[in-house]
Structure 1
Amino acid sequence: MIEDLVSIVTPAYKAEGYVAETIRSVQAQSYRNWEMLIVEDGSPDKTAEVVASYAETDLRIRLIRQVNSGPAMARQKALDHAQGRYIAFLDSDDLWLPEKLATQLAFMTAQDAVLSFTGFRRINADGTETGRLISAPATLNYHSLLGNTAIATSTVIIDRQKSGPFNMTKTYYDDFVLWLGILKRGHLARGLDADLMRYRVLGLSVSRNKWRSMRMVWKTYRDIERLSLVRSAFAFARYAWNAWWKYRQF
C-alpha cells in the first residue's frame, strides 16, 4: 500500500450521461494524491469511451473493463488493482464537493478512524434541485448499523492499514455487508457531520425500489449475518423507521 494515496473505487454501468461530471468532481479535489479506478461493467452505452477520454489526459484515472458482473464484482475488481492505503467509494453518478477528501482524511487522522462517512445532500437527475442535508451520526457500531441507513456509499473512506484485508460479497447490498463485516471486527464507523457529497436520485435507480430493497435487507440479516428471527425483526423495524425518516422529504 502507498501511504497517503487514496484509491477511489467507482463501478460504472450505463453511466455515460453522468460519469464525466463525477470524474470532474474528483479532479477538483484540493487533496491531489489519489487514483481513480473506474470499472466499466460491460455497459452497452459509451461509458467506457467517456472514461477513456479522461484517462488519456489524467494518469491518475484508470479505466478497467469487465464483462457485466454487477456492482459488487466491479468494486472488487477495483480493489484488486488499488494501491492506496485509503479506499474511497464513489458511485458513477454521484459527486464530491472539492474539500471532501482533505476534510475527511484530516478527520480520520484526528479520530484514529478505521471507517468514516459523511453527511450529504440528494440532487435530482439533472442536478437542478438539491435536497436537505442528511446528517451523519457521530459513531456507529455493528449492532447500531444493523438498524440504520446512515452510511451512504459515496461518502465512505476505509483505512486499510487499520481495517485489515477485506473483499466485496456478491450480494444486492454488497456495500452494507462490507461495512458490517468491518464493524463486526470491533471497529467503529466515525461520522463526519459535514456536507461533502451529492447523491444523484435517478428514476430507475436500484436503491429507489423500496420494496425490493426491504426484501434484500431482510435477506442480508438472515442469510449473510445469520441473525435470529427475533433479532432480524428488531433490526428490520429500526432500519425501516430510519429509512422513512431519512427519505421523508427530498
Structure 2
Amino acid sequence: MSATGADERGTGAGPLVSVIVPSYNSQAHVVEALESVLSQTVADLEVLSVDDASQDRTRALVEELAQRDRRVRTFAQASNRGVALARNRGLAHARGRYIAYLDSDDLWMPNKLERQIAFMAEAGAGACFTSYETIEENGDHRNFVRVPAAIDYKGFLKNTVTCSHTLLFDTQIVERGLLEMPDIRRGQDAATWLGIMKAGHTLYGLDECLAKYRKTAGSLSSSTTKSIRRTWSLYRGVEGLSRPYAAYCLFWQLFHAAQKRRRDAS
C-alpha cells in the first residue's frame, strides 16, 4: 500500500481509514498533529476534527487547514462536553473501515497506518497498538515505550501499556458500537479498550515506534495523583471490580510504572 491509491482491503464505499481528532485550546500543536495524519503513506483516509468549544484559535486553524485539504472534515461542539463525546461525534460521522484516534497535541510517523494495516492483515487482528516515543511539550525526547505482542482484559487491568493515539481498529472485526466511549471526564479511553477486550477481542502489539505522545502540563494524565484516582474510579465505578481485586490491579499498575521510570532513568 502507498500514497498512490486505496488498498484492496477497502470497501470502495468510503475512505479506508477514519482518524478522529478531538481538540480543545490546542492552537500550539493542532496543526502539526493534523499534518502528521495528512502526511501518512496511506492516502485513502479522512480526518474528523471535532473542536470541543475551544476559546483560542484552534477551530480557526483547523478550518484553514480543511480548506487546503479536502480530507479534513470539521465539527464543533456547541459547549465544552469532554473528549469522550467529541470522539463519539467523530465516530458517528466516520466512514472508514479502520478507525484511529489522535489527540491534538500528539504525532504520528508517516508510515504508521500503512505498517499497522499490513500487520493486522497478516495477523488477522481487529485491534493493533504500537510502541511510541514520549516527548516534552517543546518536542524534546523523553523516553520510548515498548509494547508486548498482545494484551487481554486481565493483563490490561494490571498494566495499561498503550495510549489511544497508537491504536487502530478494523470495524470488520471489532464491532463499531464497541468504540463508543462512556461519558466520563477521565479514563474514558481505557474504559473503552477494556470493553472491547471484555467482548472477546485481543489488542495486538506492533513493537515499532510509530507515534509520539506529548507530555504537556495541562494533560489529563500529567499528574500521578490524578492518574491513581482516575484508575481507581475506573476499576470501581466503571468495571465494578471488588475493592481487593481493584487494589491488586492498582498495585501492579504502580509496579509497572515504577519499573518504567527506572528504565528511563538508566
Task: Give the TM-score normalised by structure 1.
Answer: 0.96
Report if the CA contact (8 A) 1:121-1:197 is conserved.
Answer: yes
Q: Distance in 1 between matches of 2:119 and 2:22?
A: 26
Matches within 5 A, 1:127-146: 127=139, 129-146=140-157
CA offset at residue 86 of structure 1? 0.7
- Aligned equivalent of 1:107, options 106, 119, 122: 119
Residue matched to 1:170? 183
Choose the corresponding residue for 2:229, options 199, 211, 215. Answer: 215
CA distance in 2, matches of 1:155, 1:97: 10
TM-superposed CA distance for 1:247, in Å, is 4.0
2:206 counterpart of 1:206:
no
Paired with 1:214 and 1:244, the residues of 2 have a C-alpha distance of 13
- Is 1:11 aligned to residue 22 of structure 2? yes
Deviations 1:107-156 (A, max 9, x none): 111111111100000111121x1133210110101110011121111000
Indicate conservation of the 8 Å contact 1:149/1:243, yes or no.
no
Q: Which residue in 2 is equivalent to 1:119?
A: 131
**Structure 2 unaligned regions, length at least 5:** 1-10
The residue identity in structure 2 corresponding to 1:101 is L
**SS at 2:64's partner residue?**
helix
The separation in 2 between residues aligned to 1:69 and 1:43, in whole angstroms, is 11
Gaps in structure 1 of 5+ consecutive residues: none
Q: 1:74 aligned to 2:86?
A: yes
Give the 3 Å change call, closer, same or farther, for CA 43–3 of structure 1 in structure 2. Answer: closer
SS state of the match for residue 84, structure 1? coil
C-alpha distance in structure 1 between counterparts of 2:128 and 2:261, whole Å:
22
Matched residue type, 1:245: Q
Decide which of 63, 69, 76 is 1:58's aligned counterpart. Answer: 69
2: distance between equivalents of 1:42 and 1:3? 28
Shift of 1:210: 1.2
Could you list the per-position Cα deviations for residues 44-101 of structure 1 after superposition, in whole angstroms to 9, with x for gaps in the alignment?
A: 0010000001100111101100021011111111011111111101000000001101
Q: 2:166: which partner in 1?
A: 155
Residue 43 of structure 1: aligned partner: 54
- The two structures, once aligned, show a CA RMSD in angstroms of 1.4
Give 2:244's aligned amino acid: V
Is the 2:15–2:46 contact (alpha carbons within 8 Å) kept by the matching residues of 1?
no
Alignment check: 8 A CA contact 2:36 2:110 kept? yes
1:224 aligned partner, one-letter code: V
The alpha carbon displacement at 1:244 in A equals: 2.6
Identity of aligned residues (%): 37
Cα contact 1:7–1:83 (8 A) shared by 2? yes
How many residues are aligned here?
249
Whole-Å separation in 1 of the counterparts to 2:161 and 2:149: 10
Following superposition, the deviation at residue 4 of structure 1 comes to 6.3
SS at match of 1:7: strand
The code of the aligned residue for 2:218 comes to: L
Instruction: Give the alignment partner of residue 203 of structure 2, picking from 162, 168, 189.
Output: 189
Give me the whole-angstrom Cα distance separating, in 1, the residues matched to 2:254 and 2:14: 39
Residue 246 of structure 1 deviates from its aligned partner by 3.0
Partner Cα distance (2:121, 2:260) in 1: 28
CA drift of 1:230 comes to 1.5
